[in-house]
């Protein structure tokens, strides 16, 4: 793609997913398939698939899993030059246990092994390293989520630094991605931190269940009243999305498509919408692009699109 195309930088944790080869309890599963995971990394890959220049700023361990993750980014056309390698801390991973649902789809239960990972050591210094600083200087958009500030105080400080100074030529995108396990015992602090990022972002994505858990309502108009600051506010569920562009509101239905598993579809939807915004599409055009790319994440048990 052209070097003059807008650059989207995704900042956050990359992980290796070990996905059970068949539905059933982990103790009965002998085979697992390895794949890339991590909300912001999934979004970067989907952005690249939509023709947007995409890059990731992150950290991985100096191990085989870390090398696998960066190789996957490159294979999908995502710039990995600002992914640091930690000589001591490992790459985080999770195991996805599959369950067969009554409607014929597959449900995923995640078991995380990320404590003390390289990504947990993200810090403001990660962003001032030469490769990361160069990407941020060129970025038309920076995408973040509510996962990163939950990882550690230094990761929170890093994300805060991205939002601290105004950049009129750079959009800030924030996906709520509420993870209760990461905020356990400090839920109110988490709600305050996430709400603050919502207010300072230009584009915000939130599922209805996350909105209910964090903000106490999933009604789109009530959420818009609570958060008038972002230009774009999107509330999503399996049926579709409600989106705001300033005072304008649009509703759109998800595309009817066979579903294998839903994990990762939200990241793909966000990427499609962001690609539409960067391409200058209308609100409805950006929504349609989001739904089209989301369908590509629904047809496999991987978290990212091919």
Angstrom distance (rounded) from CA 85 to CA 72: 15
Residue 110: is its pLDDT beyond 90?
Answer: no
Angstrom distance (rounded) from CA 2 to CA 51: 9
| Structural domain harbouring 150 | 7-13+38-58+122-297
pLDDT in tens, 112-163: 999 899 999 999 999 999 999 999 999 999 999 999 999 999 999 999 999 9
Q: 241 by DSSP, 3-state: which?
A: strand
Pull the structure tokens for residue 153. 């105080």
Residue 198 counted as domain residue: yes
CA 142 distance to own-chain centroid: 11
Residue 165: is its pLDDT beyond 90?
Answer: no
Q: Which residue has the tokens 């739904």?
A: 291
Residues involved in catalysis: 267
Q: pTM higher than 0.85, yes or no? A: yes
Residue 196 counted as domain residue: yes
Nearest CA to 38 among 262, 206, 267, 211? 267
pLDDT in tens, 222-241: 999 999 999 999 999 888 89
Residue 291: is its pLDDT beyond 90?
Answer: no
Q: 239 by DSSP, 3-state: which?
A: coil
Pull the structure tokens for residue 81. 């030059």
Pull the structure tokens for residue 157. 């400080």
pLDDT in tens, 59-90: 999 999 999 999 999 999 999 999 999 999 99
Angstrom distance (rounded) from CA 158 to CA 121: 10
Angstrom distance (rounded) from CA 61 to CA 118: 5
What is the sign, positive or negative, of the torsion defined by CA atoms of 91, 189, 245, 4? negative
DSSP single-letter state for residue 177 = -
Q: DSSP for 62-110?
A: SSHHHHHHHHHHHHTT-EEEEEEEESSSPPPEEEEEEEE-TTS-EEEEE
Residue 109 counted as domain residue: no
Pull the structure tokens for residue 32. 């697992």
Residue 211 counted as domain residue: yes
Angstrom distance (rounded) from CA 192 to CA 173: 18
Q: Which residue has the tokens 């209760």?
A: 180
pLDDT in tens, 18-49: 999 989 999 999 999 999 999 999 999 999 99
Higher pLDDT, 196 or 96: 196
Report the number of distinct structural domains present in the chain: 1
CATH of the domain at 169: 3.40.1190.20
């Amino acid at each position: 793609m052209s070097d003059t195309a807008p650059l989207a930088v995704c900042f956050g944790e990359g992980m290796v997913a070990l996905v059970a080869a068949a539905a059933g309890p982990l103790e009965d599963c002998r085979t697992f398939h390895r794949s890339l995971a991590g909300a912001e990394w999934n979004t970067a890959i989907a952005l690249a698939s939509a023709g947007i220049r995409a890059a990731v700023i992150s950290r991985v361990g100096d191990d085989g899993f870390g090398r696998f993750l960066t190789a996957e980014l490159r294979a999908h056309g995502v710039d990995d030059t600002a992914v640091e390698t930690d000589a001591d801390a490992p790459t985080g991973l999770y195991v996805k246990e599959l369950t067969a649902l009554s409607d014929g789809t597959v449900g995923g239960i995640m078991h995380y092994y990320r404590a003390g990972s390289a990504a947990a050591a993200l810090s403001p210094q990660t962003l001032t390293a030469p490769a990361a600083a160069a990407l941020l200087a060129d970025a038309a958009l920076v995408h973040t989520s509510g996962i990163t500030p939950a990882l550690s105080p230094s990761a929170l400080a890093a994300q805060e630094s991205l939002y601290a100074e105004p950049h009129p030529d750079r959009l800030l995108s924030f996906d709520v991605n509420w993870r209760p396990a990461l905020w356990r015992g400090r839920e109110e602090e988490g709600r305050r931190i996430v709400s603050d990022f919502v207010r300072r972002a230009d584009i915000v994505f939130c599922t209805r269940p996350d909105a209910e858990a964090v903000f106490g309502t999933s009604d789109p108009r009530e959420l818009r009243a609570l958060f008038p600051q972002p230009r774009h506010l999107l509330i999503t569920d399996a049926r579709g999305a409600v989106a705001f562009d300033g005072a304008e509101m649009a509703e759109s239905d998800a595309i009817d498509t066979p579903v294998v598993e839903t994990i990762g579809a939200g990241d793909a939807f966000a990427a499609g919408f962001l690609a539409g915004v960067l391409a200058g599409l209308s609100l409805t055009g950006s929504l349609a692009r989001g739904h089209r790319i989301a369908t590509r994440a629904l047809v496999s048990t991987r978290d990212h699109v091919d």
